[in-house]
Amino acid sequence: MTERRTIGVIGGGIAGLAAAYRLARQGQRVILWERNSYLGGQAAAFPVAGSELEYFYHHLFMNDHDIRELMEELGIGDDLIWLNSSVGFFADGKIYPLQGALDLLRLDFIPLHDRIRIGLVTLYLQKRTNWREFEQITAADWLRRAVGERAFDRVFGAQLRAKFGKRYDQVAMVWFWNKLHLRTQSRTSPLQKEQLGYIRGSWNTLINRLGEAIGENGGEVQVGVGTESIEQNEDGTWQVSTTDSQTVTCDALVATVPSPLLLRLVPNLPEWYQEKLTGAVYQGAVAMILQMSRKLSDIYWLNIGDPSIPFTGVIEHTNFIGPEHYQGNHFLYISKYLDQDHPYLTMSEDDLFDEYVPYLQKINPDFSPDWVSQRWVFRERAAQPIITQNYSERVPEHRTPLHGLYLANSAQIYPEDRGTNYSIRLGNRVARIVQNDIDHGMIGPQKV
Ligand SMILES: Cc1cc2nc3c(=O)[nH]c(=O)nc-3n(C[C@H](O)[C@H](O)[C@H](O)COP(=O)(O)OP(=O)(O)OC[C@H]3O[C@@H](n4cnc5c(N)ncnc54)[C@H](O)[C@@H]3O)c2cc1C
């Protein structure tokens, strides 16, 4: 049997938790450090109205198999529930329901032949299965050609601009295709309503169970403890200094932090790998959550196609998981994806709310700030890696060029879009790689 090794995991988001759980199950001595005062990273939830709610809205698609399997394995498979969702598109002062392909024909703010083109292109993309054919072209170029300038501008282009801002025309078609493809698989037929998954009690049900399972398998989870610096010893092991002044020696490290943070932790990475780490620029996200006495609309997921509105989407959580789970309160996220220098990343919560109110009234003229009993704003700088053309050539490897240092973060998810399912897949994969390297004597003090 190979010797038991000490593996440090940096970051207690979903990828770090999954990696730590697998490594602990494989018999390794695992220490996980999470700098926040809670586990779960971007998927974590906080207490609201007798329940818990994610800082950032979360749901699952039918083909999110890795998370389903993990939940089964952890004995919480029954907590994954599937419910009908409702999607809409706001344009020209009106909410257009988008429940199935036929609804595209009702987008009467563009001429009928444009709607038919959009419908046909959507059906075509849903049927394509090989992502490689969409890798070498941007979504803007492909879609403009497919549906024409006007339809692109009002529908697909509006969505790309709302999510990617000034970088909207750099996003690869593979990203856009993947979104449509995934959503198709959450329906049994194009005419059917979409079903989405949610975790009973919030994503914290999974996060807490993973934390427990790491402990049950002999691992250690330190919350509220950041990794301040890491340095490689002469024998190839790693010296970790933490924010609570511990110094720990590890045989290997798995970093699950966003790429810019890894660059800061390990400035001496070889240049070619640094280039890979800077190869995907991240969009940030700001989510304002409103706790309200009534609903804004009947739609769960409302895409904004009105360029005068400064946010990307309105996600009315309690139109998916009913208000009865939250003591009768309605919860709504106002979602905004943005560039790293956008003022919303630093604007005060009050100013941001004042900024949003007139636009919420555009969506529902009856909306009044009096409906809101509480509100919160959460911000994340590494919310969405922007996937550009031919990204498969630039995905950073899990084994970094430094012996015993591994990376698992959302910039390595490709061709799928980032999400908790794929963070679990990353965690599983990096744990397999580390175990393989242990089995081959590549981890642990080396003779120098
Ligand atoms: C607005 C928004 C909506 C989303 N919607 C969905 C959805 O509907 N469905 C879905 O599946 N996914 C969704 N996601 C994506 C999903 O939440 C993420 O892809 C996933 O949680 C990322 O997990 P991770 O572990 O890779 O990274 P993170 O969650 O970012 O975890 C990294 C962790 O590392 C910690 N850390 C950083 N530096 C240090 C350090 N020096 N020392 C110790 N710890 C450190 C951080 O605090 C963090 O907890 C959404 C994300 C956002 C932002």
Whether pLDDT at 448 is above 50: no
Ligand 1 atom with the smallest distance to the CA of 420 is 11
Is residue 286 lining ligand 1, measured as CB closer than 6 Å?
A: no
Q: Is the CB of 261 under 6 A from ligand 1?
A: yes
Residue 187 pLDDT: 61
pLDDT at 100 over 70: yes
For 20-76, what is each residue's pLDDT tens digit? 999 999 999 999 999 999 999 999 999 999 999 999 999 999 999 999 999 999 999
| Poorest-pLDDT segment among 59-63, 120-124, 143-147, 181-185 | 181-185
Q: If you take atom 53 of ligand 1, which residue's CA is the nearest one? A: 383
Query: How far are the Cα atoms of 35, 87, 210, 216 from residue 12, in angstroms, in the given order?
Result: 8, 32, 10, 17
Instruction: Indicate if ligand 1 lies below 6 Å from the C-beta of 222.
Output: no
CA distance 443 to 439: 8
> Which residues sit opposite 254 in a β-bridge?
9, 406
* CA–centroid distance, residue 32 to ligand 1 (Å): 15
% of the chain with per-residue pLDDT over 90: 92
User: Does ligand 1 come within 6 angstroms of the Cβ of 104?
Assistant: no
Which residues sit opposite 95 in a β-bridge?
A: 90
Q: Which of 332, 420, 429 to mutate to test the pocket of ligand 1 (most atoms within 8 A of CB)?
A: 420
- The answer to whether residue 192 scores a pLDDT higher than 90 is no
Domain borders along the chain are: 6-58+203-280+392-439, 102-186, 281-385
Mean pLDDT of the region 219-248: 97
Percentage of the chain modeled with pLDDT above 70: 97
Atom of ligand 1 nearest to the CA of 408: 26
Q: Residues of 396-416 as b/e, b for ≥16 C-beta within 10 angstroms?
A: bebbbebbbbbbbbbbbbbbb
pLDDT at 190 over 90: no
pLDDT by residue (tens digit) across 424-440?
Answer: 999 999 999 999 999 99
Indicate if 281-385 has the same CATH topology as 6-58+203-280+392-439: no
The confidence score (pLDDT) of residue 180 equals 85
ipTM: 0.99
Say whether pLDDT at 387 is over 60: yes
> What is the per-residue burial (b if ≥16 Cβ within 10 Å, else e) of 177-202?
bbebbbbbebbeeeeeebbbbbbeeb
- Say if ligand 1 is within 6 A of residue 312 CB: no
pLDDT (average), residues 232-241: 96
**Range of weakest confidence among 216-220, 226-230, 414-418:** 414-418
Ligand 1: residue whose CA is nearest its atom 13: 419
The pLDDT value given to residue 3: 79
Mean pLDDT estimate for the chain: 95
CATH superfamily, with its number, for domain 6-58+203-280+392-439: FAD/NAD(P)-binding domain (3.50.50.60)
Is residue 416 pLDDT above 60, yes or no? yes
Which residue's CA is the closest to the ligand 1 atom numbered 2?
56
Q: Tell me: pLDDT of 162 over 70.
A: yes
- The verdict on the CB of residue 259 being under 6 Å from ligand 1 is no
- Residue 50's region, left for phi above 0, alpha for psi from -120 to 50, else beta, is left
Q: Among 17, 34, 42, 210, name the best residue to mutate to test ligand 1's pocket (greatest count of ligand atoms within 8 A of Cβ).
A: 42
Taking CA atoms only, the protein residue closest to ligand 1 atom 7 is: 58
How high is the pLDDT of residue 240? 98
Give yes or no for residue 283 CB within 6 A of ligand 1: no
Looking at domain 281-385, its CATH superfamily turns out to be Protoporphyrinogen oxidase, mitochondrial; domain 2 (3.90.660.20)
Rounded mean pLDDT of 332-340?
Answer: 97
- Give the residue with greater pLDDT, 181 vs 380: 380
12 C-beta closer than 6 A to ligand 1: yes
* Residue 192 vs residue 138, higher pLDDT: 138
Nearest 5°: phi and psi at 73?
-60, -35
